[in-house]
């Protein structure tokens, strides 16, 4: 095959006659025809296609060129090269601010946000003005109900999913002594018992705390405002005679600090001081069994030497603490069961019954055995630790 003839594109088969500096007439016919301009137009603003094809219009006759003047209506071609800086919040309508505030208030306080906000402001006014009541033990009912209970309630309902049984055994009024087992490495069970009783009966449980609670800064003040008082016979008897619902955990630190291998095995109940207080005041004793608290911080070890240096009863080691640091302080979401037993009456005994050591021992042992047997029953009924 011979050499093919090369035909230039766009010349209809006819070779062009370009001079080297100017394209041929056929090539010039392919290009779009443009009007020659005297000066090069400035680069248009990004995103404005109209500005890329249209030159700037000439100013009207007699008009004064002003660098800060805006472009004509409906046109972006006359934008000035110099822009005026404005505040980021400038130009936001007041209605938008009000709508945003209303939306945030509904999100925080609910549909009745105006009423809730008014109550909150009234609460602040009372606190600032000192128009609130604190009893002789330091108990602040308003703070406890509005803040402490509100903070503990989601933990009890959503995290531990507490199931309460036998709540009818708590008297509606008058003094009574609630006696419970103690566990959990950290005394969270006392706080959960307080919020559970309040939500089901409307009554405030007044816990008896150990000396360490009232020797710890911040914790001491919070405990007093929450209704706790020192675990001594004098304060316990005064509150019982005053018609308060008092809570006691006779196992003390031996209960919450026992190893995980000994879970749900009650420790010694002391010398029966709580029974003597109940006998002297004639109030009923309500035994309480708590299942679920043993698993929130499984205690697998202890550092007694370091604990003595820090002045605390024990320094726990769990599968997650101190290995995971602060994250190890998050309690495991175990399933909790609280069962209040039938009240043990003490008003049938004579006034001097509290001085009989054998009677005090028998009643103490009765309370302890009631709680222990209830724990075994609840453990059998519980399907799983976390369900």
Across the beta sheet with 205-209, the strand order is 163-165, 337-340, 285-291, 176-180, 245-248, 205-209, 229-230
Of 77-86, 273-282, 350-359, 377-386, the poorest mean pLDDT is in 77-86
Q: How far apart, in Å, are the Cα atoms of 52 and each of 33, 42, 67, 302?
A: 17, 9, 21, 78
pLDDT at residue 172 tops 90: yes
Contacts for 116 with CB less than 8 Å, ≥ 6 apart: 109, 110
The domain spans of the chain are 99-129, 141-296+331-381
Which of 227, 158, 156 is closest to 196 using CA atoms?
156
Of 32-36, 227-231, 383-387, the poorest mean pLDDT is in 32-36
pLDDT at residue 53 tops 50: no
Q: How confident is the model at residue 3 (pLDDT cuts 50, 70, 90)?
A: low
The pLDDT tens digits of the residues spanning 264-305 come to: 999 999 888 999 999 999 999 999 999 999 999 999 988 888
Predicted confidence at residue 243, as pLDDT, reads 96
pLDDT at residue 49 tops 50: no
The pLDDT tens digits of the residues spanning 208-263 come to: 999 999 998 999 999 999 999 999 999 999 999 999 999 999 999 999 999 999 99
Tokens of 78: 């006359």
Predicted confidence at residue 19, as pLDDT, reads 54
Q: How confident is the model at residue 387 (pLDDT cuts 50, 70, 90)?
A: confident
Predicted confidence at residue 62, as pLDDT, reads 45
- For the 141-296+331-381 domain, the top CATH level (class) is alpha beta
């Amino acid at each position: 095959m011979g050499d093919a003839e090369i035909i230039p594109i766009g010349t209809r088969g006819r070779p062009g006659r370009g001079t080297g500096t100017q394209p041929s007439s056929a090539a010039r016919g392919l290009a779009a025809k443009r009007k020659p301009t005297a000066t090069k137009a400035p680069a248009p603003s990004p995103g404005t296609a109209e500005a890329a094809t249209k030159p700037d219009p000439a100013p009207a006759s007699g008009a004064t060129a002003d660098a800060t003047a805006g472009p004509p209506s409906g046109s972006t071609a006359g934008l000035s090269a110099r822009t005026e800086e404005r505040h980021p919040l400038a130009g936001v309508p007041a209605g938008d601010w009000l709508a945003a505030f209303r939306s945030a208030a509904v999100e925080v306080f609910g549909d009745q946000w105006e009423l809730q906000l008014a109550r909150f402001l009234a609460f602040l006014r009372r606190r600032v003005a000192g128009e609130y009541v604190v009893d002789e033990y330091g108990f602040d009912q308003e703070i406890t109900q509005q803040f402490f209970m509100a903070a503990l309630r989601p933990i009890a309902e959503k995290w531990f999913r507490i199931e309460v049984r036998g709540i009818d055994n708590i008297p509606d009024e008058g003094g009574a002594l609630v006696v419970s087992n103690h566990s959990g490495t950290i005394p969270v069970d006392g706080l959960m018992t307080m919020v559970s009783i309040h939500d089901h009966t409307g009554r405030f449980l007044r816990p008896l705390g150990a000396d360490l609670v009232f020797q710890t800064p911040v914790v001491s003040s919070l405990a007093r405002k929450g209704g706790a008082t020192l675990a001594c016979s004098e304060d316990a008897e005064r509150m019982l005679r005053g018609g308060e619902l008092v809570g006691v955990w006779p196992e003390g630190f031996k209960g919450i600090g026992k190893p995980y291998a000994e879970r749900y095995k009650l420790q010694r109940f002391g010398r029966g001081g709580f029974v003597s207080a109940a006998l002297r005041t004639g109030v009923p004793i309500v035994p309480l069994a708590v299942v679920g608290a043993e698993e929130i911080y499984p205690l697998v070890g202890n550092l007694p030497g370091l604990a003595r240096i820090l002045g605390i009863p024990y320094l726990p080691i769990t599968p997650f603490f101190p290995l995971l640091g602060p994250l190890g302080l998050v309690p495991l979401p175990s399933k909790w069961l609280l069962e209040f037993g039938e009240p043990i009456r003490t008003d049938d005994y004579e006034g001097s019954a509290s001085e009989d050591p054998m009677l005090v021992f028998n009643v103490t042992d009765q309370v302890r055995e009631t709680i222990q047997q209830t724990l075994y029953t609840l453990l059998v009924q519980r399907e799983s630790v976390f369900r």
